[in-house]
């Protein structure tokens, strides 16, 4: 039923503010969110959802997050109110100035906090057995949600990453699906495709995750690759089934493309000076993220020469990228306060949008809409040309481009492999990129995400399962299976080492230095579970360690 891993590896395939500014911040957020809800209302049968917690609770929200009532800023925004938010807010306003008022006690009395169930695996499980055992523990069915919850209900079951990540996430799911197929859970693959199609139909895009505070942005657009993954087992009818949603998602990413003048940008679209249309990461809102409110306010305070709203937008755009946070987005390569995500044309996003265009072309062809197919073949070809024009770095790798400064970003990252993964790298450039990845990113325990240590989680010395899988598939596509094996075996050994010592799989790993193992850095402690690591690990076991 499954295509052999050997053929997959060796065959070349082209895939189709300062705290005093809270009043201004909240007012702007309210206006922006009202616009977002209005846009959603244009979609037929759009569900009625509450505003995000920052809007529901106003000053109470600010107080809880700025006073750090909980160690994790995500705790409060995932909590469920025990009564109507307006009632709770009125009680807070009456009580907050009383001499004996205790904010934490007030919150605990008025909200039900999210739970993080302790998962205790049976002893003696092999790594493969443990992952197969984990899938049901990470599967959620939430066809309804409590009143005023930030959770967005979905019609079908879905797999969450684990830990603090209690909801489904967009790009994580592609790598989770890889493992679900290895574990013969094609039903869950189909369920999650249906959930994403539902979100596209309701909201016009797939949100970062199924929470109201994520609705203003998406994540790396892997939906087309998920469709192709399911079609590999289920046949070409999958392309026809999801063609309407593929086209709707494309419309979301390309909004403004036809009206944006050269040298300018609109939302996710950047039109280069020569008229080439490429894309960037973007978020509809320019306020602190609900789930990282205090962190964002502090970052904006450090950016003393910038408008806080610009900083917030760039932080949010980086969250859309999935690489939150990384030196990829920093003006000085080291400091979060210099973040400039919206000024950068990313190589990964544009490679994925090439695949979306090529997949729409395929779906149209299968539907015998040949005019549509020809149109999207042309779009895909123009994007491939644009990537090779703007996102090839003269130093020998694919990388990002700063469209405001009009120059390449000269720091290599694991995102360099995306044009190889989707099959649009020129062969000689693919070879040079592989050499650069080999000499600069390959470490004793796998691939470092970047060459720079900043304390951010998407920088050295951390390595991430999805980037290893993309690298392995990409370099195999261009005829380098032995390098792919080296990458896979080294990272798999790191995963095995952590499992042997801690009996768990984690979100990220340290791949260099004396302390290889679970990764660090970022806004929250290391999380275990973990959806995409589970999926990639099963693929690596199948390819490089059969029988384990």
pLDDT tens digits for range 173-215? 999 999 999 999 999 999 999 999 999 999 999 999 999 999 9
pLDDT in tens, 258-300: 999 999 999 999 999 999 999 999 999 999 999 999 999 999 9
pLDDT of the residue at 116: 77
In whole angstroms, what is the distance from residue 432 CA to residue 154 CA? 44
The answer to whether residues 318 and 415 touch, using CB atoms and an 8 Å cutoff, is no
Tell me whether residue 523 is annotated as binding.
yes
pLDDT of the residue at 46: 60
Tell me whether residue 306 is annotated as binding.
no
Q: For the whole model, what pTM was predicted?
A: 0.92
In whole angstroms, what is the distance from residue 454 CA to residue 461 CA? 9
Exposure string of 113-148, with b = 16+ CB inside 10 Å and e = fewer, is ebeeeeeeeeeeeebbebbbebbeebeeebeebeeb
Active-site position among 295, 296, 507, 512: 507
Active-site position among 324, 357, 494, 512: 324
* Contacts of residue 216, Cβ cutoff 8 Å, sequence gap at least 6: 32, 33, 36, 283, 284, 285, 316
Tell me whether residue 133 is annotated as binding.
no
Tell me whether residue 164 is annotated as binding.
yes
- Give the chain's residues under pLDDT 70: 1-47, 547
pLDDT of the residue at 45: 56
pLDDT of the residue at 331: 98
pLDDT of the residue at 515: 77
Tell me whether residue 235 is annotated as binding.
no
pLDDT of the residue at 6: 38
In whole angstroms, what is the distance from residue 61 CA to residue 477 CA? 49
Tell me whether residue 208 is annotated as binding.
yes
In whole angstroms, what is the distance from residue 121 CA to residue 102 CA? 39
pLDDT in tens, 84-110: 999 999 999 999 999 999 999 999 999
Tell me whether residue 440 is annotated as binding.
no
Q: What are phi and psi of 344, to 5 degrees?
A: -115, 135
pLDDT of the residue at 21: 36
pLDDT of the residue at 350: 99
The answer to whether residues 532 and 465 touch, using CB atoms and an 8 Å cutoff, is yes
pLDDT of the residue at 118: 81
pLDDT of the residue at 279: 99
pLDDT of the residue at 42: 46
Residue 324 annotated in active site: yes
């Amino acid at each position: 039923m499954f295509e052999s891993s050997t053929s997959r590896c060796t065959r070349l395939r082209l895939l189709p503010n300062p705290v005093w500014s809270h009043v201004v911040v909240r007012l702007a957020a309210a206006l922006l969110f009202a616009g977002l809800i209005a846009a959603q209302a244009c979609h037929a049968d759009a569900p009625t959802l509450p505003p995000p917690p920052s809007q529901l609770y106003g000053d109470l929200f600010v107080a809880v997050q700025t006073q750090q009532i909980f160690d994790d800023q995500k705790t409060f925004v995932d909590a469920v109110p025990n009564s109507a938010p307006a009632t709770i807010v009125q009680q807070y306003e009456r009580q907050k100035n009383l001499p004996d008022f205790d904010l934490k006690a007030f919150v605990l009395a008025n909200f039900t906090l999210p739970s993080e169930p302790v998962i205790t695996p049976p002893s003696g499980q092999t790594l493969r057995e443990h992952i197969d055992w984990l899938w049901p523990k990470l599967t959620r069915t939430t066809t309804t949600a409590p009143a005023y919850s930030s959770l967005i209900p979905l019609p079908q079951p879905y797999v969450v990453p684990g830990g603090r990540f209690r909801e489904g996430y967009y790009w994580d799911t592609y790598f989770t699906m890889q493992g679900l197929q290895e574990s013969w859970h094609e039903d869950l693959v189909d369920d999650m495709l249906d959930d994403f199609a539902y979100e596209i139909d309701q909201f016009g895009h797939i949100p970062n995750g199924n929470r109201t505070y994520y609705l203003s942005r998406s994540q790396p657009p892997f939906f087309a690759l998920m469709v192709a993954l399911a079609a590999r087992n289920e046949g070409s009818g999958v392309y026809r089934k999801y063609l309407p949603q593929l086209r709707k998602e494309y419309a979301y990413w390309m909004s403004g493309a036809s009206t944006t003048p050269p040298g300018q940008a609109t939302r996710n679209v950047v039109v280069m000076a020569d008229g080439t249309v490429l894309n960037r990461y973007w978020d509809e809102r320019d306020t602190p993220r609900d789930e990282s409110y205090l962190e964002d306010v502090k970052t904006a305070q450090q950016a003393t020469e910038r408008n806080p709203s610009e900083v917030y937008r760039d932080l949010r755009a980086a969250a859309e990228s999935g690489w939150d946070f990384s030196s990829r987005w920093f003006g000085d390569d080291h400091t979060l306060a210099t973040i400039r995500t919206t000024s950068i044309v990313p190589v990964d996003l544009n490679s994925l949008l090439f695949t979306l265009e090529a997949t729409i072309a395929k779906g149209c062809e299968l539907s015998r809409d040949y005019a549509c197919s020809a149109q999207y073949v042309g779009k895909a070809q123009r994007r491939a040309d644009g990537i090779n024009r703007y996102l090839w770095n003269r130093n020998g790798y694919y990388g990002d481009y700063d469209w405001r400064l009009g120059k390449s970003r000269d720091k290599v990252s694991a995102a360099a492999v995306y044009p190889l993964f989707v099959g649009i790298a020129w062969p000689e450039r693919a070879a040079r990129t592989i050499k650069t990845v080999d000499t600069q990113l390959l470490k004793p325990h796998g691939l470092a995400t970047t060459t720079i240590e900043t304390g951010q989680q998407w920088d050295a010395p951390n390595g991430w399962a999805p980037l290893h899988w993309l690298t392995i598939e990409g370099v195999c596509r261009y005829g380098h299976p032995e390098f792919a094996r080296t990458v896979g075996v080294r990272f798999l050994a790191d995963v095995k080492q952590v499992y042997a010592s801690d009996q768990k799989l984690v979100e990220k790993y340290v791949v260099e230095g004396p302390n290889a193992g679970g990764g660090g850095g970022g806004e929250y402690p290391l999380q275990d579970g973990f959806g995409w690591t589970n999926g990639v690990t099963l693929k690596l076991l199948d390819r490089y360690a059969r029988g384990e």
